Amino acid sequence: MATLAVNGGGGAAAATHTKAYLEGKAVKETRLLISELCRQFYTLGWVSGTGGSITVKVHDDSIPKPQQLILMSPSGVQKERMEPEDLYVLSGNGTMLSSPSPKPYPHKPPKCSDCAPLFMKAYEKRDAGAVIHSHGIESCLVTMINPMSKEFRITHMEMIKGIKGHGYYDELVVPIIENMAYENELTDSLAKAIDAYPKATAVLVRNHGIYVWGDSWINAKTQLGLGSNGNVNTSAKAVTEGSDYGSGLFPRCIVLDIEGITTPISFVSEVLSPYARDNVGKHLSVTYDTAETQDDIKLLRSQVEDDLKQGVAGAVPIPPRDAGKEEVIAALVANVDAMIKADRKITALKQLQGHIWRTGFESNELEGEVFDDVPEALEKWHSLGTKVYIYSSGSRLAQRLIFGNSNYGDLRKYLSGFFDTAVGNKRETRSYVEITNSLGVDKPSEILFVTDVYQEATAAKAAGLEVVISIRPGNGPLPENHGFKTINSFAEI
């Protein structure tokens, strides 16, 4: 064991740096305590193998707490085989004072815990006497209940009383920070969480574990065993056993509409639709002889012929091509204008609009708009392996343009495919049956459909899909007692 006696500093702090103190009773007892706790934590499942860590201050009434020595468990040592001499000793400000001696193969060279900078933040900001880092599986699971949540909240739970300052009727709030590739990269986010939640005695790390502290090792262990870990354990089991999606916490596929779900209705009605209406004549005139536009015109002719037979308001005959380009375009513009004003969800219109919008996006006259919670949700679902699809009355081209040129950049990398009215009307059950068959899931309930339209929700439910209705600013009213779960943000999915 390498011991470094540090001179200087004066007073009580200097006294703790002497070789006699480092090898004295208080330090030895703390070494024994930590090695014993590591074996116990291993048995409890709070640490496993080399994962997890613990640090305890050497209690000494003659030394002010900020200056008391700090003992930390090493990295890379099997916790159930931890020996007192494996511990590191640091000064109150984190200076290394004593390190373990190397052991023969197959032991790794000694290294202080990778959690050291995070432990020091808890000591500095909370005047802690001990900090425990657990890799308990429940701590990981509870952060997966809602992958968008920045907090774990629970109330009316007996074990809450084990948390300092909380009673049965109080709400326990534990902040959640995102995991990083290396432990020390969590330092800043842990420090910010400690500052932002002054009442918290723990911080959860998503898909990783939990950091818990107390004014003594007894208090920290109590917080972990009766409070944070106990409540986390209960919640994780309740969710995994009661999940609507079987053994998983998320559906295999999510199908999203655009208007009123990912994107404000106002963007469509006040930006996209006026742009298409104002530029339809110009677009047709410039591209009239292209195969693409001739195909658009062919679809519009067929649609208008049906409209005229059915007496649809605003439909006017389209002259044959040999009548002259200008006359044909004028009739097309009149019909398209009527279709846009009526907000018709028909393929002929949506296909032409997509081609017009493409020009607008390519010239940077248009930029797609999504709600602020959308990019983070798409990224999170993608990281969890959940496939996300779009089903909109807008053409697949238009869908790709909106997400490929959004106010948050290109979001298409998070999307697995696009459906439009070619698959069927959005208010018909058979459309959702077709989508289910296309996605290749074992059962329709593995798909979650998000819409803002009651009739679409009813059709999707009849096909066996799980359904939630999106409540966004500007969305239309819903029938009373509609029976569907509603959300105001993707964070609630």
Catalytic residue list: 158
Measured CA angle at 491 (ends 471, 343), to 5 deg? 35
The two three-digit tokens of residue 310, written as one number: 């059915």
The whole-angstrom separation of Cα 142 and Cα 55 is 24
The radius of gyration of the chain's CA atoms, rounded to the nearest angstrom, is 32
Strand 202-205 to 2-3 pairing: unpaired
Contacts of 16 (CB under 8 A, 6+ apart): 22, 58, 60, 63, 67, 68, 69, 91, 92
Q: How far is CA 444 from CA 434, 448, 456, in A?
A: 11, 9, 15
Contact call for residues 162 and 230 (beta carbons, < 8 A) = yes
In this structure, which amino acid lies at residue 162?
Answer: G
Q: Coil, strand, or helix at residue 478?
A: coil
The whole-angstrom separation of Cα 235 and Cα 176 is 15
Neighbours of 484 (CB within 10 A): 15
- 71: DSSP letter: E
The whole-angstrom separation of Cα 67 and Cα 54 is 19
Residue-wise DSSP of 409-473:
B--GGG--EEE-GGG--TTSHHHHHHHHHHHT-SSGGGEEEEES-HHHHHHHHHTT-EEEEE--T
- 395: DSSP letter: -
The whole-angstrom separation of Cα 356 and Cα 348 is 13
